[in-house]
Structure formats: C-alpha cells, structure tokens
Amino acid sequence: MLQERVNQYFENKESTFVDAISRLIAVKSVQEKPLPGMPFGKGPADALALALNMANELGFSTANFDNYVGTVNLSDRETRLGMLCHLDVVGEGIGWSTPPYEAVLKDGMLYGRGSSDNKGPAVAALFALKAVKDLGIPLQYNARLILGTDEETASSDIVYYFERQPAPRFVFSPDGAFPVTNTEKGGLKTTFTKNWSVSEALPRVTAVKGGAIINVIPQQAEAWVEGMSVAELQPICEGVAKTTGAEFNITRENGSVRILAVGKGGHAAMPEKSNNALTALLTLLSALPLAESESAQAIRELNRLFPHGDYYGKAIGIAQSDEISGPLTLSFDIYEQTLTGFSGRFDSRTPLCATRENSLDVVAQRFAGLGIALESKVTAPHHTSCDSPFIQTLLKTYEQYTGRKGFCESTGGGTYVHHIDGGVAFGAMMPGFESKMHGADEHASIADLVTASKVFTQVIADVCG
C-alpha cells in the first residue's frame, strides 16, 4: 500500500527538513526597492535562487521567470497539479525571543521568520516531489512547485507568471491550515487623510505614529504630548492599560512627554488574536484633557470610528457576516499624525455577502461627513464549492494521513489561489496550531510539516497518476 511506503520514506527525516528550512530562513526576503533583474529587491531574489538551487541539488529541473517566480518540475509531461508557495516574508518587527533570521529549534518547533509563512510549507512541498521521485510512483502527468516572491505585498509575481504560463488544471497553496480553505474573504484596504492648521493651545498632541505594514497589526505605537507632565499622565495611562490590556511607557524627551504603547502584533486577517497598540494609544489620547483643536477633535473622531477591541467594523457601520465566510473583520494598522494633519490605513476582510453599498459606500459616507479624504482598493472574495472532486480528493487524503475529520473552512487571509478558479489553500499548518505568523516568534511544528509532506505526496500520486 502506498501509504505504508510513504510513511516509511519520511521516517527520521526531521533533520533534513530543519536543515533546508533553516537555510531559507537565513535569507531576509522582505520586499525592497527593485534592482536591475530583481523586481522585489535582493532578498526575495536571493531566496528564490537558493530554493531553486536546492531543487537542482535534489535532481529536479527548474526555471526562473525573471526573479518573479521560480518553478520546480517533477517531469516534462503535461502539468496537472500546481502547488503554489511563496518565499518572501513580512518584516520581522519587534519582540522576538529568538533571532528572526536565524532558525532555532526548540521542543520540535522551528522558530524564524518564514518558518510557517511560507518557507516551511514550501520545503514540505519540495520534499513531496522528492518522495514521489525516490519511491518511483508512476505518474501520467507532471506536478509543479511554483515559488513566488511577492505574495505578502501585491502578488504581482503570480500575475506575471500566469500571463506567460497556463494555470494547471488543479491548484492548491499550502499557505494556510488543514483541512481545506475553500473560501477567502474579499478585501477593503483604505488610505485616508485630513489636514488642518497648527494650534498652539496646550495640552496638545504633537505627533502620533504607529504601524508600518497594511496587513500587520501594530505591536507598538507612540505619541508625543506637550503641556502635561509625566505625573499627570501616569494615572490616566494606568487606567487605560487596565481596560485595553496594552502597556504604556512614559518618558520626558526635549520638553515633551513620549508615550509608547505596547500591545501584541499579528496578522490583520485575525485581529481578535492580537492587541492593537495603535487603537489602544488612541483610546488613551482621547482620554487626555487636551485643549480644543482640530487635532484633538480628529483623535476623538478616529477613536469613535475604530474603538479598541472592535474587530468587526461595528462602530464604523459595516459589521456583517454570512454562514459560509463568517464575519467581516477590520484592523486599523497604520497611522501618522503631525501638527497639521494625519494619514491612516485600515485593512478589512469582507465576507461573501459584502457589497460596495454595504461596505465601501458606508465608510466613504462616514469619512466625508468628517472631512476625511478616502482612497480605497476593493478585492472580491474567492470561493470554490466543497463538493468539487478535487477538494474531495484533498479531504480524503488529509483524513487518511492524520486520522482527523476533513472539512472546508473560510479565512480572512489571502493566498495565491484567490484569483484561480477551483484553487484552494491546503495546509500546511494543522488545525488550531498558533504559528504567530506575521508576529514575533513565528514558528512551525517540524512533525506537522513532515505530515504535510506525506499528504502532498499522496495528493500528487492521486491527481497525477
């Protein structure tokens, strides 16, 4: 039976996984300014070169599509299955207990940026190809590993690739969790601004800054206040800390008081798993006895629109949900305020029931009434029926190798399959596993990645045999 051979093949392979993933983690593949021949900067290009070299070392034919995408082929036959992974990562942020770009193995968990999102799963897919090859499993069709380098920012890499290559008939991306994610919410990403004249009245907020990446909930945010002492601020900070769960550190710097808010960062698709330092800070600033000004008014307005702990857009008026995709989520992720205005961005993941009328138009109307200028980008949701034969094959294989019940679920995250008909996310994390992706101390279970590789091996055999 093939399952017995696959299980035997992957015995004692954990160290091989650790070594391969560690090599990729060591490459800081955060997107940077483009360079000649490197559309997303040196880091992503270096990670792609390393991954393709690793595949060559394993005896596979590879191709590099102008440092946008690389491919690894099992054979030269017609490609029937595509496995889409990415090698770029989000920035490391702060708060790590291990070096973010130096893999550390502790208690079966491999720590490092990209360990779970998505370098670890990419290695699991690569070793599945190797298992099929080494076991001599007969196939009628090719399976292809497709490695991108711009998933975290805009996925322009995969667009570039599919403009030049046809999509395989069946596609999955191990960029989520098992069993199968067949629904990906849509997106509403905004940039909003407002300007005013300088007010000299004290107390006043002279600056606020929090967040840097639209799909990462800020772990820290800071503000500078004039006209109040540390002693006056301390009891207010202590009270707000109790209600928000955030930590506030106060220091006097150059005649102002600096307030540093510390929360818990994470992925914008799951704001309920984080503690947004920015919204906690706005809660605090709204509680201060500031002099009346447009600046103070703006802080209070934003605090009403994005109150701390409102993960679902209730205050701004767009909360909604449906049975298949679940609730709309919203996270206020980037904000900068000066003496003369502000610029902010929020990231909302919208369910199947969302429309322009019940989401974007509502936000636009609220902002217009407050004199806030708005720019937005809307992405439609993605859904593949759980009854599709491909999904049923994936679920059957998952059940076969894990002994767990397979089912379909929705996510607020987006993967490469978002615009691919019939595509789904499949693995590589096990249900309920908290990887801390996009946050500090991101990690992956090596045992789970080995299991994922077994599952992928069987899927290749079933789909391409």
Question: Band of the pLDDT at 1, cuts 50, 70, 90?
Answer: confident
> Contact 83/455 with Cβ under 8 angstroms?
no
> Contact 253/373 with Cβ under 8 angstroms?
no
pLDDT at residue number 94: 86
pLDDT at residue number 438: 87
User: What is the arithmetic mean of pLDDT over 231-235?
Assistant: 97
Question: Using one digit for the tens of pLDDT, what is the confidence trace for 130-161?
Answer: 999 999 999 999 999 999 999 999 899 999 99
Of 213 and 121, more confident: 121
User: What is the arithmetic mean of pLDDT over 311-324?
Assistant: 98
Q: How many residues does this entry show for the chain? A: 465
Percent of the chain beyond pLDDT 70? 100
Of 154 and 69, more confident: 69
Pairing of strands 220-226, 256-262: antiparallel
Question: Using one digit for the tens of pLDDT, what is the confidence trace for 54-64?
Answer: 999 999 999 99
- DSSP class of residue 194 equals E
pLDDT at residue number 280: 99
pLDDT at residue number 254: 87
- pTM for the whole structure: 0.87
Pairing of strands 142-148, 79-86: parallel
Walk me through the domains of the chain, giving residue ranges and CATH numbers.
Answer: 2-185+382-464 (3.40.630.10), 187-379 (3.30.70.360)
Chain-centre distance for alpha carbon 402: 26
Question: Using one digit for the tens of pLDDT, what is the confidence trace for 353-395?
Answer: 999 999 999 999 999 999 999 999 999 999 999 999 999 999 9
Question: Using one digit for the tens of pLDDT, what is the confidence trace for 196-230?
Answer: 999 999 999 999 999 999 999 999 999 999 999 99
Question: Using one digit for the tens of pLDDT, what is the confidence trace for 295-317?
Answer: 999 999 999 999 999 999 999 99
b/e map 248-273, b = 16+ CB within 10 Å:
bebeeeeebbbbebbbbbbbbbbbee
pLDDT at residue number 424: 98
Is the predicted pLDDT of residue 408 greater than 90, yes or no? yes
CA atoms of 110 and 115, how far apart (whole Å): 7
